[in-house]
């Protein structure tokens, strides 16, 4: 997955926007003001911070040691940093979608309904 493809995929979700609150190099993808992905899209290697269920986070770190690590500058219990090029594109897409879904699940019910996401 290229940086362009990662960016496009993150922005493909309902109400997803890209913001640069930290610096011009770090893309922060949000849904209704809540972060679901962060990436320095010009970083080598390409990595992305993604929200993750705590149990899944530990399992992924064990299964993909060195490729999925505790989230850099994030709550280590709930966030992983994923090296994009080391995993199949399909899996990266699933992890991004899971992150988005976890963030949406934490939104107030009225906002979730506005997103019209099954």
| Segment 40-50, tens digit of pLDDT | 999 999 999 99
To which H or E segment does residue 30 belong?
strand 26-31
Please report the pLDDT score of residue 91 as a whole number: 97
pLDDT(118) > 80? no
d(CA 116, CA 108): 13
> 53-77, pLDDT tens digit by residue?
999 999 999 999 999 999 988 989 9
Please report the pLDDT score of residue 53 as a whole number: 95
Please report the pLDDT score of residue 72 as a whole number: 86
pTM over 0.75: yes
């Amino acid at each position: 997955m290229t940086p362009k493809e990662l960016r496009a995929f993150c922005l493909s979700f309902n109400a997803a926007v890209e913001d640069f609150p930290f610096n011009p190099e770090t893309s922060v993808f949000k849904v209704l003001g809540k972060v679901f992905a962060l990436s320095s899209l010009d970083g080598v290697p390409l990595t992305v911070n993604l929200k993750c269920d705590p149990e899944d986070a530990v399992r992924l770190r064990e299964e993909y040691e060195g490729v999925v690590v505790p989230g850099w500058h994030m709550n280590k219990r709930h966030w992983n940093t994923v090296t994009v090029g080391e995993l199949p594109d399909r899996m990266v897409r699933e992890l991004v979608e899971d992150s988005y879904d976890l963030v949406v699940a934490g939104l107030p019910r009225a906002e979730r309904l506005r997103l019209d996401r099954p």
